[in-house]
Structure 1
């Protein structure tokens, strides 16, 4: 997902409102296109810009708002596009600055304590819309997966905004240091220094076994573990659930404060929260952030239907569950999950 920021010679020949293409964009031509044409060009990059903003912000909804702001700024400032970089790279610059502006206004301080209260999940069905890029390169595929998993999102939200931007632009998008420096108004030395600090911060907050993640890999062992977790959850069998957890498992439920680390702490929290008293649950298997997830529905007699309850997103390492991040029912809509299951709906 590298951004091509190599200079291009402006080419304004043959550009019309019906035949605009990025290969023919130049400074004068972009300023002259009508709004529908501009919108068509920009929306080609909507999904990857949304994912970029999501990495920066950790919130699906904030990323959605920031992409809208990006397109608005780009349209209003279209005359500033000089054709020295690609149109795509120009949009990334605007999106990054829009993210930094939002962070300065709403979240000037990074996350602390290992949890991110504003964290939201990202559905795999939308991640599948990303450009294929170098899909045949194992390293590229691994990078795309690892940098969208929730553990990465949590770690990157612990960085200050500008080092966070440097890390994502350099290590995820592959931008040269000079281009990042130009975007941020810094020197190359400052960017390189910020990158070193950001990488050190990531090592501090990422799981030690990062190289062993199974994430959302579709292997038989992962599917079986998810099935056992689902069955034990529906049965509210805490003993069976506990047997699936690694000793140092982590559990959180943003935006509700509280990070529980260790099997005993997690199990005690389940008991204190009344988990054993839940009844009449149904589930839908899904996947978010390239990780297995289970959507839980609870029977509501007054509605004569099963209504959304929570979504558990699992991180699995070495045949055991190493992290559970639970999201509230307000996340069901953007994940494309049903808002109700009828009484006769199969599990």
Structure 2
């Protein structure tokens, strides 16, 4: 097989280390790129940051290219890439965040646009179990809970419970025994229960129903109108509000409303909203009128968790997240 062999003719599953070695860098990158989105989502679950996941996938591909001769074909090429990606995540966590999140908030949390998640299951979107699993393990509540786990138990949980790897394969990846992996998994599951909403079915959700869509519409309209009373009526008693990377987790309707009032929300005028979706959750991008620009400019992204007919959690991200979400950088006055 020559180095310029057409990529669609390459079946990496049939290649051993010598097989990968015959590929030039462009051909190797083309084969690896087939797995970019799923590796990116995997790193995002591990790290909680879209940008860190982007950097780690690039590091994964660089390491894979440099170590291509070590691929012996005993596992699939996909599994080999996951091993490299997981270790790259663990290396980054050891360097940047040696301690897991605490206090129920994750200051480095970033949203993940649904339009990119759609790439992940483009081939199996008709399989409801796969779609449900994707929602369960990509919603912000899950991401926040995962970030409260120590890095290695976090990796074990994701590899075992999300990707479905056998314990022996996880043990080989991490250089641990099967017993150690099983023990870490039990600790990780216990840790998740401490930080996830009390009733799992309240947040896994399924497809949005008519009532949920209507609640999101009314909540968005009330936000644009700065109608505090209307917003309060749609919040659950134990609603949570956070605004990463700004510190501060507010729990309970009164605490959340008090924070909004103290932050000057009641006096805000000239808002417009654009509906969107991130992390398989409803969201809306808020824009604020700027006279000197004669346009509405990005303000915040509000992501909602809905259960029991109420908004049970609201995570607000800053305007710097708009570019990665593919949101407009301005809305015209007459738009």
Query: Residue 266 of structure 1 aligns with which residue?
Result: 256
Does 1:25 pair with 2:15? yes
Match of 1:318 among 308, 327, 334: 308
CA distance in 2, matches of 1:341, 1:216: 32
Does 1:154 pair with 2:139? no
Does 1:115 pair with 2:105? yes
Q: Answer whether contact 2:282 2:303 (CA < 8 A) is retained.
A: yes
Q: CA deviation at 1:215?
A: 4.7
Of stretches 19-28 and 39-48 in structure 1, the one that deviates more from structure 2 is 19-28
- 5+ residue gaps, structure 2, are none
Does 1:53 pair with 2:53? no
Match of 1:166 among 146, 156, 159: 156
CA distance in 1, matches of 2:223, 2:131: 32
TM-score, normalised by the number of residues in structure 2: 0.96
Per the alignment, do residues 307 and 95 of structure 1 end up closer, same or farther by CA in structure 2, a change over 3 Å counting?
same
Does 1:342 pair with 2:321? no
Q: CA deviation at 1:16?
A: 6.0
RMSD (Å) for aligned C-alpha atoms: 1.4
Q: CA deviation at 1:25?
A: 1.8
Q: CA deviation at 1:21?
A: 2.2
Query: Residue 226 of structure 2 aligns with which residue?
Result: 236
Give the count of matched residue pairs.
333
Q: What SS does the aligned partner of 1:94 have?
A: helix
Query: Residue 251 of structure 1 aligns with which residue?
Result: 241
Does 1:188 pair with 2:178? yes
Q: Answer whether contact 2:13 2:73 (CA < 8 A) is retained.
A: no
TM alignment of 1:278-297, pairs within 5 A: 278-297=268-287
TM alignment of 1:54-93, pairs within 5 A: 54-93=44-83
Query: Residue 175 of structure 1 aligns with which residue?
Result: 165
- 1 or 2, which has the higher helix percentage? 2
- 5+ residue gaps, structure 1, are 1-12
Of stretches 310-319 and 218-227 in structure 1, the one that deviates more from structure 2 is 218-227
Query: Residue 4 of structure 1 aligns with which residue?
Result: none
Q: What SS does the aligned partner of 2:293 have?
A: coil
Q: Answer whether contact 2:121 2:131 (CA < 8 A) is retained.
A: no
1:178-233: CA deviation from partner (whole Å, max 9, x where unpaired): 11001100000000000000000000100012212265733211111011101110
